[in-house]
C-alpha cells in the first residue's frame, strides 16, 4: 500500500510549513499563538475533547459495570453500564469520523495513509484511533453473541473479553499518536507526557495479563465468590469455581511470572521511547503503581476481607498478606533499567538483567512453589522479547503504516483472542457446575 507524506498540499499544507519555519527560527514560541491557523486550534481542541469524552466515559462505565455486577443480578447483556459504554463509544467514533472527513482538521494529525475505499489520504493516528473504535463497537456486539451462545460463566480469557481490552489499548495508542502529531505545533510538556505514559500503562496491563490482572490470590477470589449478590448467580459461581479449580491466580499459577515479565518488557521499552527523561520514565510507573495499590487496599475494605470493615483494620491484613496489595514491581524494573543504561551494557543485555531482577521481585510477592524461581530468572528472556514489541509499537504510532496498523489489529483482534477463546470454552466445559 502507498503511504503519503505528512503534509498535505494546498493552502493548509502551506500554513503548516510556515508555522514549522517560525517555530524553528523563533525563540519565543508563545508569541506565535496569535498567528496559529484557526483550523489547527480547532483540531487541537477537538482532539482533547474527544480524548476526555472517551476516557471519562470509559472509566465511569467500567467502574459502573464493576459495581453493577457486584450489586445486581446479571439478567441481560444490555445493562445500563453496558449500554452507556456502547453509546459513548459510538459517539466518540462519530466525532473521530467527522475530523477524518474534514480536510482542514485532519491535515494536522500527522503522516497520512492510503486506505482502501476511502478516496483521500487519512492520517495514520486517526486510522489507529478509528479502527480501535470500530473494533470496540463490533466487539461489544460480539460479546452479546458470545454470552447468548456459550453462557455467562466466561473467564477473562473469553474471546470478546480479551478483544475488549485490546481494543481499548488500540484506542489509547491512537490518542497518543494523535497528540504526538501535534508536537511540531504544540510541544508536549511533562504533564502531558506523564498522562500519556500512565494511560498506556493502565490500558496495556489488562490485555496482557488477562485474568491475572485482578485474580491475586485464592483467598481474594473466595471473598468475591461469597459476596451476597454473587452467591445468587450460578454462572458467576461457576466462573470463580473455574479460577479456583485450575489455580488461575497470581499466587498459584506458573503462567503469571512469564506473562507479567512480557508486560514489563513492553511497558519499559515503550516508556523509554516515549520520553527518555527520568522524571517521566520513572514517575509514570510510580504513579501507576500507587494508583493500583490504593485500589487494592480499598478492595479489601469493600469486600470486608477477613472481617475488615474500617480503614484502620486494613493494616494488619495488609501486613499479613502483601500479595493482596503490593503492586507489580514495574517501578523496580525501570529503576534498574535506568541504572544499567549508565553502564557499558548493550540494550539487549540490559533488558535480560532487568527482567531477571523483575522476575525475582515478582516471585517474592506471588509464589507457592520454590521451583518457580527458575521462571523468575528466565523472565529476563521474556522481558527482552517484550521490549522488542514495545519498540515496534512506539514506531507504529510515531510513523503509522497501513501494513503495521493491519498487523496490530489482526494480532489483537484475531490471533490472540481466538486461541484464548478456545481455552476459555475448554475450561468451562471441563469444570462441573
pLDDT tens-digit map of 43-89: 999 999 898 888 888 778 777 777 776 666 665 667 787 778 888 88
The pLDDT score that the predictor gives to residue 68 is 75
The pLDDT score that the predictor gives to residue 413 is 83
Please give the Cα distance from 126 to 95 (Å, whole number): 11
Which has the closest alpha carbon to 164: 191, 196, 132, 205? 132
30 pLDDT band, cuts 50/70/90, is very low
State the Cα angle at 83 between 77 and 85, rounded to 5°: 115
Say if residue 11's pLDDT is above 80: no
Domain span including residue 333:
211-400
User: What average pLDDT does the segment 125-145 reach?
Assistant: 87
In a domain, 362, yes or no: yes
Say if residue 15's pLDDT is above 70: no
In a domain, 86, yes or no: no
Dihedral sign for Cα atoms in the order 283, 288, 293, 295: positive
Say if residue 3's pLDDT is above 50: no
The three three-digit cell numbers of residue 160, written as one number: 470478546
In a domain, 15, yes or no: no
Quick check: 390 and 351 in contact, CB under 8 A? Answer: no
Please give the Cα distance from 134 to 230 (Å, whole number): 33
Q: What is the DSSP string of 39-52?
A: HHHHHHHHHHHHHH
Q: Where are the strands (E) in 6-129, listed by range?
A: 112-113, 122-123
Quick check: 163 and 131 in contact, CB under 8 A? Answer: no
Please give the Cα distance from 175 to 72 (Å, whole number): 34
The pLDDT score that the predictor gives to residue 35 is 66
Say if residue 384's pLDDT is above 50: yes
Quick check: 250 and 214 in contact, CB under 8 A? Answer: no
The pLDDT score that the predictor gives to residue 63 is 77
Say if residue 22's pLDDT is above 60: no
In a domain, 36, yes or no: no
Most confident of 115-124, 286-295, 303-312: 286-295
Q: What are phi and psi of 26, to 5 degrees?
A: -115, 125
On average, the pLDDT of the chain sits at 86
The domain total for the chain is 1
Please give the Cα distance from 181 to 108 (Å, whole number): 7
**pLDDT tens-digit profile of 160-210?**
999 989 999 999 999 999 999 888 888 888 888 999 999 999 999 999 999
Say if residue 261's pLDDT is above 90: yes
Distance of CA 314 to the CA centre of its chain: 29
Quick check: 431 and 238 in contact, CB under 8 A? Answer: yes
The pLDDT score that the predictor gives to residue 55 is 83
Q: What is the 3-state secondary structure (H, E, C) of 145-206?
A: HHHHHHCCCCCCCCHHHHHHHHHHHHHHHHHHHHHHHCCCCCCCCHHHHHHHHHHHHHHHHH
Dihedral sign for Cα atoms in the order 171, 172, 174, 175: positive
The pLDDT score that the predictor gives to residue 397 is 85
User: What average pLDDT does the segment 325-332 reach?
Assistant: 96
Instruction: Provide CB contacts within 8 A for 266, sequence distance 6+.
Output: 204, 208, 386, 387, 389, 390, 393
The three three-digit cell numbers of residue 128, written as one number: 489507529
Say if residue 317's pLDDT is above 90: yes
The pLDDT score that the predictor gives to residue 328 is 97
Say if residue 225's pLDDT is above 70: yes
In a domain, 269, yes or no: yes
In a domain, 340, yes or no: yes
CB atoms within 10 A of CB 21: 10
371 pLDDT band, cuts 50/70/90, is very high
Quick check: 154 and 428 in contact, CB under 8 A? Answer: yes
Say if residue 93's pLDDT is above 80: yes
Please give the Cα distance from 86 to 61 (Å, whole number): 9
User: What average pLDDT does the segment 112-123 reach?
Assistant: 87
Most confident of 122-136, 244-258, 295-309: 244-258
The pLDDT score that the predictor gives to residue 5 is 39
In a domain, 148, yes or no: no
The pLDDT score that the predictor gives to residue 143 is 83
User: What average pLDDT does the segment 215-241 reach?
Assistant: 89
In a domain, 6, yes or no: no
16 pLDDT band, cuts 50/70/90, is low
The three three-digit cell numbers of residue 229, written as one number: 449478590
Please give the Cα distance from 101 to 97 (Å, whole number): 6
Quick check: 215 and 221 in contact, CB under 8 A? Answer: yes
Amino acid at each position: 500500500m502507498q503511504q503519503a507524506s505528512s503534509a498535505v498540499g494546498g493552502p493548509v499544507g502551506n500554513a503548516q510549513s510556515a508555522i514549522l519555519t517560525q517555530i524553528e527560527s523563533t525563540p519565543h514560541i508563545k508569541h506565535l499563538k496569535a498567528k496559529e491557523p484557526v483550523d489547527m486550534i480547532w483540531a487541537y481542541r477537538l482532539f482533547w475533547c474527544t480524548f476526555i469524552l472517551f476516557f471519562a466515559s470509559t472509566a465511569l462505565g467500567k467502574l459502573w459495570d464493576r459495581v453493577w455486577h457486584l450489586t445486581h443480578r446479571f439478567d441481560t447483556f444490555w445493562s445500563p453500564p453496558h449500554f452507556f459504554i456502547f453509546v459513548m463509544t459510538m459517539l466518540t467514533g462519530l466525532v473521530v469520523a467527522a475530523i477524518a472527513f474534514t480536510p482542514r482538521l485532519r491535515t494536522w494529525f500527522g503522516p497520512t495513509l492510503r486506505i482502501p475505499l476511502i478516496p483521500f489520504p487519512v492520517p495514520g493516528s486517526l486510522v489507529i484511533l478509528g479502527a480501535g473504535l470500530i473494533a470496540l463497537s463490533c466487539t461489544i456486539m460480539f460479546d452479546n453473541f458470545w454470552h447468548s451462545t456459550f453462557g455467562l460463566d466466561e473467564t477473562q480469557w473469553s474471546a470478546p473479553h480479551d478483544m475488549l481490552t485490546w481494543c481499548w489499548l488500540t484506542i489509547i495508542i491512537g490518542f497518543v499518536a494523535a497528540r504526538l502529531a501535534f508536537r511540531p505545533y504544540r510541544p508536549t510538556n511533562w504533564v502531558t507526557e506523564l498522562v500519556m505514559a500512565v494511560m498506556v500503562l493502565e490500558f496495556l496491563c489488562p490485555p496482557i495479563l488477562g485474568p491475572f490482572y485482578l485474580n491475586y490470590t485464592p483467598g481474594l477470589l473466595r471473598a468475591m465468590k461469597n459476596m451476597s449478590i454473587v452467591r445468587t448467580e450460578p454462572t458467576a459461581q461457576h466462573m470463580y469455581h473455574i479460577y479456583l479449580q485450575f489455580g488461575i491466580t497470581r499466587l498459584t499459577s506458573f503462567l503469571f511470572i512469564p506473562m507479567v515479565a512480557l508486560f514489563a518488557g513492553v511497558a519499559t521499552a515503550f516508556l523509554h521511547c516515549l520520553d527518555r527523561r527520568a522524571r517521566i520514565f520513572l514517575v509514570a510507573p510510580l504513579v501507576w503503581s500507587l494508583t493500583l495499590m490504593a485500589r487494592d487496599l480499598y478492595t479489601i475494605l469493600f469486600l470486608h476481607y477477613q472481617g475488615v470493615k474500617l480503614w484502620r483494620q486494613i493494616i494488619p491484613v495488609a501486613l499479613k498478606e502483601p500479595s493482596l496489595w503490593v503492586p507489580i514491581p514495574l517501578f523496580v524494573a525501570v529503576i534498574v533499567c535506568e541504572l544499567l543504561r549508565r553502564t557499558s551494557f548493550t540494550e539487549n543485555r540490559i533488558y535480560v538483567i532487568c527482567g531477571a531482577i523483575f522476575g525475582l521481585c515478582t516471585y517474592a510477592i506471588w509464589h507457592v512453589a520454590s521451583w518457580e524461581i527458575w521462571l523468575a530468572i528466565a523472565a529476563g528472556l521474556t522481558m527482552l522479547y517484550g521490549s522488542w514489541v514495545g519498540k515496534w509499537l512506539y514506531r507504529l504510532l510515531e510513523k503509522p503504516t497501513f501494513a503495521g496498523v493491519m498487523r496490530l489489529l489482526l494480532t489483537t483482534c484475531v490471533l490472540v483472542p481466538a486461541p484464548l477463546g478456545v481455552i476459555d470454552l475448554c475450561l468451562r466445559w471441563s469444570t462441573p457446575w
